[in-house]
Amino acid sequence: MTHIIADISVSLDGFVTGPDPGPDNGLGTGGEALHTWAFSDDPDDRRVLREATARSGAVVLGRRLFDLVDGPNGWSDESGYGAGQVGKPAFVVVTSSPPESMRLTDLDRTFVTTGLPDAVTVARERAEAASSAGGTDLDVILMGGGATVGSALAAGLVDVLTLHLAPTLLGAGTPLFTGGVPGTPAQRSVTSTSTATHLTYDIL
């Protein structure tokens, strides 16, 4: 069965970027500390990353995040979604208008201009097709940015919430939670490492 999983790194004070994020500073000032775990040699951090990317049948992201990963300092074969871990899943981008050109021309990408719920529906269809083709259950991963994940939570579109809680305080930036979240989070698992506490909740 395909689940919709929101998966994002967050600071102790609830921010998914540092202050002043922008095209040349996507994570904001100090925001790199949120993702230290993803580059860690700790075996538990590596396992969390490996398991998350392996279950990715389709990935949803907002236009701002897409512009960052497609930008000149964005993803490459060495640094990108699941680099060295998994083949490239389908990417579904929520946007008001598709870009006129792209740097990452090898991405399997779909641009959805009719809103986040429709993007999640498209991603679910892609993940279910990948599940059937591969003979294994794959999920939809909502990777961000923060506004996209927050909106999905507020709209009740999320089945599972995975937070990578970084031991850092940013003081300002992009908050993850800006409103109520329908449903009740039920803790499924906790994994603590030197770089993060990995928390997974079922949204009931």
pLDDT tens figures, 104-117: 766 778 899 999 99
pLDDT of residue 80: 60
What's the helix, strand, coil split of the chain in %, to 5? 30, 25, 45
Q: By the 8 A CB rule, do 26 and 68 touch? A: yes
The whole-number pLDDT of residue 65 equals 81
Pairwise pLDDT comparison (43 vs 135), residue with the higher score: 43
Q: Give yes or no for a contact between 166 and 34, defined as CB atoms under 8 angstroms apart.
A: yes
CB count, 10 Å around CB of 191?
14
Q: What is the mean pLDDT of the chain?
A: 86
Residue 31 pLDDT more than 50? Answer: yes
Beta-ladder partners of 9: 164
Is residue 181 over pLDDT 90? no
What's the confidence (pLDDT) of residue 76?
60
**Res. 23 pLDDT band, cuts 50 70 90:** confident
Please list the residues that pair with 46 across neighbouring strands: none
Report residue 28's pLDDT band, with 50, 70 and 90 as the boundaries. Answer: confident
pLDDT recorded at residue 87: 52
Q: What is the pLDDT of residues 144-171, one digit of tens each?
A: 888 899 899 989 999 999 999 999 999 9
pLDDT at 182 over 80: no
Question: What is the distance, to the nearest Å, from the Cα of residue 4 to the centroid of all Cα atoms in its chain?
Answer: 11
Most confident of 20-29, 55-64, 67-76, 193-202: 193-202
* CATH class as words, domain 4-10+31-203: alpha beta
What's the whole-number mean pLDDT along residues 112-130? 95
Q: Is the pLDDT of residue 183 over 90?
A: no
Percent of the chain with pLDDT over 90: 50
Distances (CA, A) of 119 to 58, 145, 159: 11, 14, 15
Q: Where are the domains of the chain?
A: 4-10+31-203
For residues 157 and 123, the answer to whether their CB atoms sit within 8 Å is: no
Global confidence as pTM: 0.87
- In this prediction, residues 11-24 reach a mean pLDDT of 87
pLDDT at 191: 97
